[in-house]
């Protein structure tokens, strides 16, 4: 797992153009989608909805980035879409990367997904900081914002599933 | 005080229990044959010269009428309510118009509104309030004013009301 | 008779040149006084359509009609008073009794209209020129036509109760209950909110009348767990009580308990009546909790033969294993269960489906199967160190206490969680500490801030009274261990905010605000799930699911025609909801069994 | 010159005391005065048998306003009776509210707060003023002196303004709830009341000039409608009708209710027991009420509750019992006899209005030998209100 990440980082740093950055991001989402799709068949049917939703979610992200890449007026577009990224490095239950075994349960899957989003945010954020102001930095910030939104959605699900409050 | 008066009077008349409602108001019961002599005694010997009111209470479920004669001793500022119980069926009571002429008015009303007869009371059979009334005496408990009104009058159209709980049950019915 | 008597009357002439005292209307306005009782105004937004105005009106001038465009929400019937001014006598008793204060009067003096029907309208809905009149009659603060304060419930004082598991709430005496029941205005708005739609105003009336047998019969029409619900119901009814708008809501839950308290259990059966003749149909129920036993009770009354499989030592489910004895004494619960078994329900304890008998066997042996297994598996935060043996889950500990097992009482413990289960375990631990070591050292840390606690406010209040420290807005980070691997505490970060602007869960921590709460034991009470392993893989795969829970239709039937599911395992935790669910599935199972006949 | 009727025309008395009147004889005429007649207060009628100008027999007929209030109340909860009772007496409705409330409070064991007693007393005296003002207009009008009614109606209207700002209504105030009163005095009330009282006093001075110091009024009323004090008890005569005959009986002093024991006053008494004396007693009693209102507003505690805690009125049940509450209204003894049976409804309510005795037995007796033109004046002098007879 760690090795894989390091590879990705390298990949991201190497790319310079906006289109290229997006392609790396797309690749990131695509592999995730494949991972969840494959996981879905393994988990209990009870929590399969969760994994399927995650796969769908990643597909959605992928599609979104792809659409962006295919647009002509890309640079302008990035500038208008961007909002102040809410960067948040912490999770509800101080998530540690779980070892997703053969039969992960819902909490493990969610923690994994949260951790992944967290990683993505950190990465894009670091990249944005190391880039001079301009369209490319804007794009990174945009990606940070997108991933933060994803993470927020996941947090909500996590709270509903795990913190059911109790009777 | 009034309790002493009660004790004193009880030696002369078969009074029932004393109900002390206030320091200046008591109620006693007496079998109806002794009523007029008790009232005369109270009026002439005990200073209860003022007949405040005379009215009836219908105890339908017991089959009885209660007559209440409220007397006042104005110099001592005391009141005594004398209760008499009559069988509801064919209720008749001795008239006290000779003690208080104004009692005739009360007795006339009681005849009309409750159907209690006071033979010999002046004008007792004359209509008082209800000229041309042909139903049962209306202040009896078995006279249903609502039924009377519904039979006699029509409701204004367009009125309908919903019960909040039932209305909600209809709207929130979730199959349970 | 003097000369003066002849002359004196002529002094009247002095008024010849006086100005007239009359007011020329309509050229000169003469507004009604500040308190004038003129035409009604109704603030339809705060009106709840409870109909007390209609009830009190001695002229029958008020009708409750559907208020146009007003949404019908919880605690609002959607009806609004329409007033017939052909009958109204402007006594304003409707204003005085109004439970929300929405109904007032304007000082409008005159109104001329050709159409007599115009004088029948719905204030606030039919707009009138005086709707915003600042003057006009309002109920003075000083007088209320119904008491606004609850009759105080007797409770065992904290110093005394902390030493044992004795029940805290003492219950109303007859006179207290009558006074409290007297406060109900019988509007019935609560019925829709109660999941099992208990006839609340009617049973409260039975308290007023002292007719407890009628009260009990009414309770059993909709709820076979009145001893339990009279103590631990989530009482959503009270949140919509009309009396709660300008005072305290009626203590509906305590009145329910009062009814059952007044009758010896020997009388129950005669009041409830006997079951119908046997139908020969057999139903298996998995889990002897509120939903399962309610369904079992209903089905047994309908004449079906019912067997309840219970994995634990005793029946009761979450009632017994989730709620401590000081809130719900076992005796009270046992009364309800005794009545259920007296209807012919057989409860087989120590019988774990999936181990002692399989689902497939049940399917074969019974005409219908109901799954009502509750939520007995505690969730863990899974923070670092949470797998340490000194970290326990609240539900497991509560079960051990209920089963009378000896508990290794910690010197100092930290509870993670802000729900009722967290309070339950904290208070149970406090009691055990008090009786074993004489000193209470329990800390509760919750992610939520106090305003968003999931626990009932009374629970939180009573926790405080019992000397338990409650720290809100603390996010758990790590279970701290010493060199020997012993727990020394819980490390938390302060939570700056827990929900975002849209009210979604999005915790923001402040790592600067770090604390370590010393403890030799940490108890997690953040949530529960149901243990569905008993289904087996094949059935799990066959069943339709809905976001982690078994999917059921409106009547509680699963995608497998022979299997129903009900209670917390389908709906999430709520006692009275489980009871309602039990009724629902029982009705549906009966319908199916009749068709099968 | 005193009017001397021709006694030879008079009917003979039968053995039972009734008169042997043969209408066929042409000596007698039946005459209906009312129910619509300017000399009758309210809807009531007198069936007069006259011989020439002189009444030889009269019968009081009531029922034109009968709404069966006492019966209606048996079908209404205790709070629902509250808006009804005031309708039993239009010009002075507050006695009904007070007596009913006090009876309910007594049987239900509720103690209204002290300040509400002060406000209740204030209201009762305000109502008494209004009732007397109406009487003065009526008494003068019944003898052709129309201007007094115009003046008294004007100042009565000022008092209605005070009622309106205090209670929220002008005629049927519906302010004295069982348990207390519905509200406190409005700001500045005392000052505005003082202005009103001054205007009433000024007007009363005028009325004294044109009515009481008036040769015609005196000629018509002195000696008319004399009530022998010996008749007071047999005929249940109370209030100003008795006080004008020298009987110093006033419930406010004899059996002080509310806060009357804290006010300084003596019953207003007259001597001659005729129409003039009765009117004069009422005029002076009116002045007393003005004084009492001043005493009340000056002596009233400035702070404190005006309403006691009462049970939920929607299902208010009162234990079985019976009581009688009386008060001194402008016309005499007003009282409520309330019987409860433990249910949420009164078992029986009996309203004792002074007109019940004054307008029937007493009037029928006084009217004999009176000239037709004096009938209205005599009747008004008894100050009767028909609704309290027939309820």
User: Quick check: B129 and D66 CB within 8 A?
Assistant: yes
3-state helix/strand/coil string of C477-534: EEEEECCCCCEEEEEEEEEEEEECCCCCEEEEEEEEEEEEEECCEEEECCCEECCHHH
Instruction: Report the length, in residues, of chain A.
Output: 167
Beta strands in chain B (DSSP E): 19-22, 25-29, 50-59, 64-73, 78-87
Mean pLDDT, rounded, for D156-172: 94
Subunits adjacent to chain C (3 or more Cβ pairs under 8 Å):
A, B, D
User: Quick check: C9 and D81 CB within 8 A?
Assistant: no
> Is residue D1 scored above 50 in pLDDT?
no
The residue of chain D nearest to residue B78, with distances taken between CA atoms, is D255
The structure tokens listed for A28 are 């990131």
pLDDT tier, B117 (very low <50, low <70, confident <90, very high otherwise) = very high
- Chain B partners of C587 at a C-beta cutoff of 8 Å? 176
Residue of B157, B168, B173 best to disrupt the C interface, most CBs of C under 10 A? B168
Nearest chain C CA: its distance from B61 CA (Å): 20
Cα-Cα-Cα-Cα dihedral sign, residues A102, A105, A111, A113? positive
Q: Which of B156, B158, B161 sits opposite C64 (nearest CB)?
A: B161
pLDDT tier, C347 (very low <50, low <70, confident <90, very high otherwise) = very high
The structure tokens listed for D91 are 């010009």
HSE of D287, CA atoms in CB hemisphere, 13 A = 15
Gap between the Cα atoms of C110 and C130, Å rounded: 11
CB burial of C572-587 (b: ≥16 within 10 Å; e: otherwise) equals: bbbbbbbbbbbbbbbb
Nearest to D125 by CA among D183, D196, D187, D191: D196
Gap between the Cα atoms of B61 and B64, Å rounded: 8
- Chain C partners of B166 at a C-beta cutoff of 8 Å? 188
Gap between the Cα atoms of C391 and C155, Å rounded: 33
Q: Domains of chain B, with CATH numbers?
A: 2-155 (3.30.460.80)
User: Quick check: C140 and D184 CB within 8 A?
Assistant: yes
pLDDT tier, A87 (very low <50, low <70, confident <90, very high otherwise) = very low
Instruction: Quote the pLDDT of residue A88.
Output: 46
Which long-range CB contacts under 8 A does C192-195 form with residues at least 24 apart?
C192/B165, C192/B168, C192/B169, C192/B171, C192/B172, C192/C74, C193/C74, C193/C75, C193/C236, C193/C237, C193/C239, C193/C240, C194/C236, C194/C237, C194/C576, C195/B176, C195/C236, C195/C574, C195/C576, C195/C577, C195/C579, C195/C580, C195/C581
User: Quick check: C79 and B164 CB within 8 A?
Assistant: yes
As assigned by CATH, the class of the C280-375+536-596 domain is alpha beta
CATH of C40-121, one of 3.40.50.2300, 3.40.1280.10, 2.40.50.140, 3.30.70.3270: 3.30.70.3270
- D171 interface with C at CB cutoff 8 Å: no
- C364 interface with D at CB cutoff 8 Å: no
- Helix axes of C252-262 and C174-182: crossing angle, nearest 10 degrees: 140
- D226 interface with B at CB cutoff 8 Å: no
Cα-Cα-Cα-Cα dihedral sign, residues D301, D303, D309, D310? positive
- C318 interface with B at CB cutoff 8 Å: no
Nearest to C301 by CA among C341, C268, C333, C354: C341
Instruction: Quote the pLDDT of residue C254.
Output: 95
Q: What is the largest CA-CA distance in chain D?
A: 73
Q: Which of D186, D209, D307 sits opposite C8 (nearest CB)?
A: D209
Q: Do domains C40-121 and C166-271 have the same CATH topology?
A: no
The CATH number of the domain holding residue A156 is 1.20.1260
Mean pLDDT, rounded, for C429-446: 91
User: Quick check: C189 and B164 CB within 8 A?
Assistant: yes
- B146 interface with C at CB cutoff 8 Å: no
- Chain C partners of A87 at a C-beta cutoff of 8 Å? none
pLDDT tens track for C89-98: 999 999 999 9
Query: Is position A167 within any domain?
Result: no
Cα-Cα-Cα-Cα dihedral sign, residues D370, D372, D374, D377? positive
Whole-angstrom CA distances from C39 to C51, C113, D161 are 18, 14, 19
Mean pLDDT, rounded, for B121-129: 89
- A92 interface with C at CB cutoff 8 Å: yes
Interface of C with A in 407-436 (CB under 8 A): 417-422
pLDDT tier, C217 (very low <50, low <70, confident <90, very high otherwise) = very high
Instruction: Quote the pLDDT of residue A57.
Output: 83
3-state helix/strand/coil string of C215-251: HHHHHHHHCCCHHHHHHHCCCHHHHCCHHHCCCCCCC
The structure tokens listed for C5 are 């008597």
- Chain A partners of C421 at a C-beta cutoff of 8 Å? 166-167
- Chain C partners of B172 at a C-beta cutoff of 8 Å? 192
User: Quick check: B22 and D323 CB within 8 A?
Assistant: yes
Nearest chain D CA: its distance from C514 CA (Å): 53
Domain boundaries, chain D: 78-353
Gap between the Cα atoms of A142 and B31, Å rounded: 102
Chain centre distance of CA A32: 8
User: Quick check: C35 and D179 CB within 8 A?
Assistant: no
- C568 interface with A at CB cutoff 8 Å: yes
- Chain A partners of C505 at a C-beta cutoff of 8 Å? 92, 155-156, 158-160
User: Quick check: D254 and B74 CB within 8 A?
Assistant: yes
Q: What's the domain range around A137?
A: 2-162
Token look-up 């019940």 returns: D356
Token look-up 């709906």 returns: C571
The ipTM (two decimal places) reads 0.82
Cis (ω within 30 of 0) for the bond into C597? Answer: no
The structure tokens listed for C342 are 């007296």
What superfamily would CATH give domain C166-271? Alpha-helical ferredoxin (1.10.1060.10)
**CATH fold group of domain D78-353:** Cytochrome-c3 Hydrogenase; chain B (1.10.645)
Q: 3-state class of A97 per DSSP?
A: coil
> Is residue C373 scored above 60 in pLDDT?
yes
Whole-structure pTM value: 0.85
Q: Which of C120, C188, C554 sits opposite B164 (nearest CB)?
A: C188
Q: What average pLDDT does the structure give for chain C?
A: 90
Gap between the Cα atoms of A28 and A31, Å rounded: 6
- B141 interface with D at CB cutoff 8 Å: yes
Chain centre distance of CA C26: 56
Instruction: Quote the pLDDT of residue A156.
Output: 82
Gap between the Cα atoms of C48 and C74, Å rounded: 9
pLDDT tens track for D331-384: 999 999 999 999 999 999 999 999 898 888 888 889 988 888 899 899 999 998
Mean pLDDT, rounded, for B59-75: 94
Gap between the Cα atoms of A142 and A18, Å rounded: 12
- Chain D partners of B129 at a C-beta cutoff of 8 Å? 62-63, 66, 390
**CATH fold group of domain C378-528:** FAD/NAD(P)-binding domain (3.50.50)
Q: 3-state class of C327 per DSSP?
A: coil
How many domains does chain A contain in total? Answer: 1
- Chain C partners of D79 at a C-beta cutoff of 8 Å? 56, 93, 145
- Chain D partners of C208 at a C-beta cutoff of 8 Å? 315
- Chain B partners of D71 at a C-beta cutoff of 8 Å? 138-139, 143, 145
Beta-carbon count within 10 A of D36 CB: 10
Nearest chain B CA: its distance from D324 CA (Å): 8
Q: Are D376 and D340 in contact (CB under 8 A)?
A: no
Q: Are D391 and B134 in contact (CB under 8 A)?
A: no
Q: What average pLDDT does the structure give for chain A?
A: 73
pLDDT tier, D385 (very low <50, low <70, confident <90, very high otherwise) = confident
Question: What percent of chain C has a predicted confidence (pLDDT) above 70?
Answer: 98
pLDDT tier, C369 (very low <50, low <70, confident <90, very high otherwise) = very high
| Helix or strand (DSSP H, E) at C201 | helix C200-209
Q: 3-state class of B92 per DSSP?
A: strand
Q: Are D33 and D356 in contact (CB under 8 A)?
A: no
User: Quick check: B53 and D254 CB within 8 A?
Assistant: no
Instruction: Quote the pLDDT of residue A72.
Output: 67
> Is residue D18 scored above 80 in pLDDT?
no
Nearest to C382 by CA among A149, A106, A120: A106
Gap between the Cα atoms of A123 and A131, Å rounded: 12
């Amino acid at each position: 797992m760690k090795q894989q990440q390091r590879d990705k980082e390298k990949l991201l740093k190497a790319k310079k153009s906006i289109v290229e950055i997006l392609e790396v991001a797309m690749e990131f989402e695509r592999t995730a989608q494949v991972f969840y799709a494959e996981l879905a068949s393994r988990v209990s049917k009870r929590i399969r909805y969760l994994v399927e939703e995650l796969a769908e979610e990643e597909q959605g992200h992928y599609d979104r980035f792809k659409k962006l890449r295919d647009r002509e007026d890309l640079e302008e577009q990035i500038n208008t879409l961007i909002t102040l990224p809410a960067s948040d490095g912490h999770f509800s239950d101080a998530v540690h990367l779980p070892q997703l075994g053969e039969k992960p349960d819902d909490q493990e899957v969610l923690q994994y997904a949260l951790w992944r989003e967290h990683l993505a945010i950190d990465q894009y954020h670091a990249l944005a900081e190391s880039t001079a102001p301009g369209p490319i930095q804007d794009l990174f910030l945009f990606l940070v914002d997108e991933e933060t939104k994803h993470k927020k959605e996941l947090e909500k699900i996590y709270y509903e599933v795990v913190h059911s409050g109790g009777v | 005080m009034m309790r002493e008066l009660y004790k004193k009077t009880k030696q002369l008349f078969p009074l029932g229990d004393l109900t002390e409602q206030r320091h200046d108001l008591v109620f006693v019961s007496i079998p109806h044959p002794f009523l007029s002599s008790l009232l005369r005694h109270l009026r002439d010997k005990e200073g209860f010269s003022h007949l405040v009111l005379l009215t009836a209470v219908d105890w339908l479920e017991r089959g009885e009428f209660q007559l209440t004669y409220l007397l006042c001793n104005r110099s001592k500022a005391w009141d005594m309510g004398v209760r008499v119980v009559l069988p509801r069926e064919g209720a008749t009571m001795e008239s006290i118009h000779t003690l208080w002429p104004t009692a005739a008015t009360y007795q006339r009303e009681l005849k009309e509104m409750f159907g209690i007869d006071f033979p010999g009371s002046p004008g007792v059979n004359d209509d008082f309030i209800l000229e041309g009334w042909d139903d049962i005496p209306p202040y009896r408990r078995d006279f249903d004013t609502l039924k009377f009104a519904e039979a006699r009058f029509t409701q204004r159209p367009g009125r309908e009301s919903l019960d909040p709980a039932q209305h909600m049950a209809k709207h929130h019915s979730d199959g349970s | 008779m003097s000369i003066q008597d002849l002359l004196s009357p002529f002094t009247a002439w002095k008024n010849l040149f006086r100005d007239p005292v009359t007011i020329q209307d309509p050229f000169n306005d003469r507004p009604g006084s500040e308190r004038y009782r003129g035409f009604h105004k109704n603030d339809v937004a705060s009106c709840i359509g409870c109909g007390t105005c209609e009830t009190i009106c001695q002229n029958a001038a008020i009708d409750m009609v559907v208020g146009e465009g007003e949404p019908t929400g919880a605690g609002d019937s959607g009806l609004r008073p329409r007033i017939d001014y052909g009958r109204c006598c402007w006594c304003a008793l409707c204003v005085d009794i109004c439970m929300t204060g929405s109904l007032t009067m304007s000082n409008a003096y005159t109104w001329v209209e050709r159409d007599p029907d115009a004088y029948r309208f719905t204030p606030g809905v039919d707009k009138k020129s005086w709707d915003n009149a600042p003057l006009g009659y309002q109920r003075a603060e000083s007088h209320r036509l119904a008491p606004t304060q609850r009759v105080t419930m007797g409770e065992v004082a904290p110093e005394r109760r902390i030493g044992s598991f004795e029940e805290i709430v003492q219950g109303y005496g007859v006179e207290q209950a009558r006074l409290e029941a007297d406060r109900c205005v019988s509007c019935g708005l609560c019925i829709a909110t109660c999941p099992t739609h208990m006839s609340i105003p009617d049973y409260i009336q039975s308290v007023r009348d002292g007719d407890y047998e009628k009260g009990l019969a009414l309770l059993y029409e909709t709820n076979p767990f009145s001893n339990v619900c009279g103590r631990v119901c989530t009482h959503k009814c009270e949140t919509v009580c009309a009396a709660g708008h300008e005072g305290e809501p009626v203590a509906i839950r305590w009145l329910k308990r009062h009814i059952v308290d007044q009758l010896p259990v020997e009388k129950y059966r005669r009041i409830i009546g006997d079951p119908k003749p046997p139908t020969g149909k057999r139903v298996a129920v998995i889990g002897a909790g509120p939903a399962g036993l309610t369904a079992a009770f209903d089905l047994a009354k309908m004449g079906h033969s019912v067997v309840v499989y219970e994995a634990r030592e005793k029946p009761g489910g979450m009632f017994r294993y989730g709620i401590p004895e000081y809130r719900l004494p076992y005796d009270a619960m046992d009364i309800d269960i005794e009545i259920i078994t007296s209807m012919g329900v057989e409860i087989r304890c120590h019988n774990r489906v999936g181990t002692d008998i399989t689902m497939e066997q049940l399917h074969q042996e019974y005409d219908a199967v109901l799954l009502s297994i509750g939520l007995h598996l505690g969730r863990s935060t899974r923070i670092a160190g949470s797998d340490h043996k000194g970290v326990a889950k609240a539900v497991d500990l509560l079960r051990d206490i209920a089963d009378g097992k000896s508990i290794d009482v910690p010197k100092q413990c930290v509870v993670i969680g802000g729900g009722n289960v967290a309070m339950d375990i904290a208070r149970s631990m406090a009691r055990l500490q008090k009786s074993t070591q004489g000193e209470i050292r329990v800390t509760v840390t919750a992610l939520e801030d106090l305003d968003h606690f999931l626990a009932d406010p009374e629970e939180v209040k009573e926790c405080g009274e019992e000397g338990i420290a409650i720290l809100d807005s603390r996010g758990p980070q790590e279970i701290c261990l010493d060199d020997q691997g012993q727990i020394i505490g819980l490390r938390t970060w302060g939570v700056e905010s827990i929900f975002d602007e849209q009210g979604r869960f999005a915790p923001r921590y402040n790592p600067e605000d770090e604390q370590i709460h010393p403890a030799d034991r940490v108890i997690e009470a953040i949530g529960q799930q149901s243990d569905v392993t008993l289904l087996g893989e094949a059935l799990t795969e066959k069943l339709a699911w809905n976001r982690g829970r078994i999917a059921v239709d409106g009547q509680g039937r699963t995608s497998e025609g022979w299997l129903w599911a009900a209670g917390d395992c389908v709906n999430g935790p709520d006692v009275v909801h489980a009871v309602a669910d039990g009724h629902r599935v029982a009705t549906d199972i009966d319908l199916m069994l009749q068709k099968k006949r | 010159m005193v009017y001397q009727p021709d006694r030879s025309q008079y009917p003979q008395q039968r053995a039972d005391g009734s008169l042997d009147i043969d209408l066929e004889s042409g000596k007698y005429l039946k005459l209906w005065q009312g129910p619509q007649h300017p000399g009758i207060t309210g809807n009531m009628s007198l069936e007069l048998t006259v011989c020439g100008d002189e009444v030889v027999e009269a019968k009081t007929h009531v029922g034109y306003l009968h709404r069966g209030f006492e019966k209606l109340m048996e079908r209404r909860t205790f709070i629902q009776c509250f808006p009804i009772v005031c309708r039993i007496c239009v010009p002075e409705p507050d006695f009904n509210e007070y007596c009913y409330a006090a009876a309910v409070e007594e049987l239900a064991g509720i103690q209204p707060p002290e300040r509400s007693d002060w406000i209740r007393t204030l209201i009762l005296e305000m109502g008494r003023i209004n009732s007397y003002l109406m009487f003065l207009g009526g008494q003068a009008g019944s003898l052709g002196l129309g201007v007094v009614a115009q003046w008294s109606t004007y100042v009565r209207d000022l008092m209605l303004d005070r009622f309106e700002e205090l209670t929220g209504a002008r005629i049927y105030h519906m302010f004295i709830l069982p348990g207390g009163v519905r509200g406190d005095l409005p700001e500045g009330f005392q000052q505005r009341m003082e202005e009103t009282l001054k205007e009433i006093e000024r007007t009363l001075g005028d009325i004294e000039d044109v009515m009481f110091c008036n040769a015609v009024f005196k000629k018509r009323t002195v000696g008319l409608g004399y009530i022998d004090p010996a008749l007071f008890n047999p005929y249940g005569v109370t209030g100003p009708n008795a006080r004008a005959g020298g009987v110093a009986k006033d419930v406010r002093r004899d059996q002080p209710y509310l806060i009357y024991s804290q006010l300084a006053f003596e019953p207003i008494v007259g001597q001659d027991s005729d129409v003039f004396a009765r009117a004069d007693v009422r005029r002076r009693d009116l002045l007393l009420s003005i004084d009492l209102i001043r005493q009340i507003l000056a002596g009233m505690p400035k702070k404190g509750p005006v309403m006691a805690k009462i049970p939920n009125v929607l299902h208010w049940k009162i234990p079985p019992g019976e009581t009688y509450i009386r008060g001194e209204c402008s016309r005499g003894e007003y009282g409520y006899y309330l019987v409860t049976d433990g249910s949420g409804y009164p078992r029986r309510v009996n309203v004792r209005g002074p007109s019940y005795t004054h307008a029937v037995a007493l009037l029928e007796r006084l009217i004999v030998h009176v000239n037709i033109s004096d009938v209205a004046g005599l009747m008004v002098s008894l100050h009767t209100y028909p609704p309290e007879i027939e309820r």
